[in-house]
Structure 1
């Protein structure tokens, strides 16, 4: 599975670059296209609407085309869109390209995340943390590169850099054999046949195969399951998880995409220096993710996620009160560390409640994240145009508090759901 992990890491690196590319050069986009921040925010909104479409279509495409073909399609769209940005087309073309870019990295992220959770068994938490580290490295490196390019007047090459890496990853997905993981790369029928063949031959394909077999068994008995695929008692947890991901991704992307603008206005930084603050935020996220697997192994997903949400609220609250560059920079780093493991560990934590629906649950949660990522940056752009920086900053604090509330509700619902299932299993049949 080593090739799969390496390829997954490179994919998340490219996706990390794509997520922050627009935000890293937002000031230049506003100036060159002579638009306001709310209009500039539409580019981010379109990117996340495309992201939402890609994630929602991922389970259907995986079932019919297979995982490899779906990932290849995702990176084709991603590469073409980023290359198109580089040409500085008209604004309406930029908006269309944003939809295509979002579709590409949204579907890629959903397909690869579900593949890792489905195939790597006990290593899924540590591997998801590693993928998120590489996502963070991409998100950290891109603003630093953008700052250098801005200083030299070549800011459009920011998008060209992303396009080149996306093209390399596309080629690797096309031509790299993945060994054991190949059994999980086809469409639904191909995966079922490969797993059945492995079972007949007496091969142990590990915990990942057991998960896949459970999915196939569940799919073979549709009459016993609700049409939507989730039992009624599961839906409350799923809805809470969906809301959590919408708020988290919206908060992360709003803050990241407008951070250079915020630091320029709040602390009087130059355009290139303000862009470096975004690199520091993602550097802190990447550094924190190196330790997420080890920490959750000791304290558990629940305690880890609750603590991260508490520190995130505190970080945004204090940052809202600071106007001095050094102090604000320290708080940006602290907030990045607090948020470092939330996305990956929440994804694993919620999937534990639905072990036979990994592809679908992952897609729903990431899709809702995409919805939040589409709506909240639009709100932030409007606040920056209509009000002052302090209003936008306190908005971040408010959404962080909502995040903490939702995680508390998720923890409570997880416990109730676990007890209900235990009681149902203990009841005598008939």
Structure 2
């Protein structure tokens, strides 16, 4: 089991590198190919559009092939895609490679998340937080490597790192197998919300839509930061390119630390309380970020934003699966799909606002998205607890009548 867990961690480590590598060198891509920020947003849109295609392909592939085989083949193809980027091909080819990168990332992330939801019942959030730590470590290391390569004018070699990791992951999965869950030996390690025992079809769809909209908004915010943080710091704090690129590393350092703590926190705090305090903190720190232009203060606030955002994705996914027991594959695919849609739509719009307004206005737009997430979460909580309260009253009336 230990080897199996490490294979999951390594796969997410690869995904972290492959997701962030384009954003880490986005200013260089924009400069080299003479793109505008709007075109940069379209570039991100293509990558996350590929992510959505990967949701469809993953469902087909897992029905016909074993998990380990799909992960191995996808990792090899991801390595090829990243290696081709080192050649700095024409912009049309770059768009295609970015699209394929999104497809392959989606396949890998969905399969790993589905395995966790199926195999680690009772400690899903703990395992998801650990794999997300691995993801964050990859996303943290990549910008550091990129900033060094940018400083010596060799930014294109950043793509060699995920290429090598892809081959490594494919090799690891050749020697592991996916274990079966023993339902009689499930160990519950988390402070969970008890899912409603009885839900009408209408309530199920309302709750599911709320979860999907929340993950849509969150992933849109995170992807916008991943891809435009260097540009934000260049325009807002007036720093050099290498210092601006380090902002992504600071953000992901905080994400890694926060995700490491998430596994411990969810043992003490229920899912909805965790999400509530996380998004409130995110909103407050986003607001603070717009008030200062000092590079040191902005780095510090960005670190706090990373901490508060760190566990939102994994806990939202686990919360959704927990609310709809027996629907793991369906819910996980939908959540991942809507995350992909958010990752496609939001950065494209954010790039447009960077071009046509200013960085200050763009940051407040991100803050408004976080406020919308909070509103949806409050509606979700009210529906869940109203349902629980009505059930308690019905039971009380039945006991009184007896």
Task: Report the TM-score, using the length of structure 1 for normalisation.
Answer: 0.85
Task: Point out the more displaced range, 403-412 or 134-143.
Answer: 403-412
2: distance between equivalents of 1:371 and 1:422? 38
Secondary structure, in 3 states, of the residue corresponding to 2:266?
helix
| Pair 1:392 & 2:362 matched | yes
Equivalent position to 1:280, from 250, 257, 260: 250
Deviation at 1:132, TM superposition (A): 0.6
**8 Å Cα contact 1:353/1:414 also seen in 2:** no
Gaps of 5+ in 1: 185-202, 209-229
Deviation at 1:123, TM superposition (A): 2.4
Secondary structure, in 3 states, of the residue corresponding to 1:121?
coil
**8 Å Cα contact 1:233/1:417 also seen in 2:** no
Post-superposition Cα deviations, 1:50-104, rounded to whole Å, max 9, x if no partner, equal 1111123323321222322332343233222211211111111111111111010
Secondary structure, in 3 states, of the residue corresponding to 1:321?
coil
Are the structure 2 counterparts of residues 425 and 21 from structure 1 closer, same or farther at C-alpha, using a change threshold of 3 Å? Answer: farther
Are the structure 2 counterparts of residues 77 and 414 from structure 1 closer, same or farther at C-alpha, using a change threshold of 3 Å? Answer: farther
1: distance between equivalents of 2:101 and 2:265? 34
Matches within 5 A, 1:366-385: 366-385=336-355
Matches within 5 A, 1:147-186: 147-173=147-173, 175-178=174-177, 181-183=178-180
2: distance between equivalents of 1:15 and 1:244? 22
**8 Å Cα contact 2:4/2:176 also seen in 1:** no
Aligned to 2:233: 263
Deviation at 1:264, TM superposition (A): 1.0
**8 Å Cα contact 1:250/1:377 also seen in 2:** yes
Aligned to 1:235: 205
2: distance between equivalents of 1:406 and 1:288? 23
2: distance between equivalents of 1:204 and 1:405? 36
Aligned to 1:296: 266
Task: Point out the more displaced range, 75-84 or 342-351.
Answer: 75-84
Aligned to 2:375: 405
Are the structure 2 counterparts of residues 37 and 7 from structure 1 closer, same or farther at C-alpha, using a change threshold of 3 Å? Answer: same
1: distance between equivalents of 2:50 and 2:395? 41
Post-superposition Cα deviations, 1:90-133, rounded to whole Å, max 9, x if no partner, equal 11111111111101011110110110111012222211110011
1: distance between equivalents of 2:212 and 2:343? 13
1: distance between equivalents of 2:57 and 2:391? 30
Task: Report the TM-score, using the length of structure 2 for normalisation.
Answer: 0.91
2: distance between equivalents of 1:265 and 1:308? 28
Aligned to 1:200: none
**8 Å Cα contact 2:149/2:155 also seen in 1:** yes
Aligned to 1:189: none
Aligned to 2:135: 135
Secondary structure, in 3 states, of the residue corresponding to 1:72?
helix
2: distance between equivalents of 1:134 and 1:413? 34
Gaps of 5+ in 2: 188-199
**8 Å Cα contact 1:9/1:134 also seen in 2:** yes
Aligned to 2:333: 363
RMSD over aligned CA atoms reads 2.2
Secondary structure, in 3 states, of the residue corresponding to 1:297?
coil
1: distance between equivalents of 2:148 and 2:389? 55
Are the structure 2 counterparts of residues 292 and 204 from structure 1 closer, same or farther at C-alpha, using a change threshold of 3 Å? Answer: closer
Aligned to 1:50: 50
1: distance between equivalents of 2:208 and 2:33? 41
**8 Å Cα contact 2:279/2:373 also seen in 1:** yes
**8 Å Cα contact 1:43/1:94 also seen in 2:** no
Secondary structure, in 3 states, of the residue corresponding to 2:288?
helix
| Pair 1:346 & 2:345 matched | no
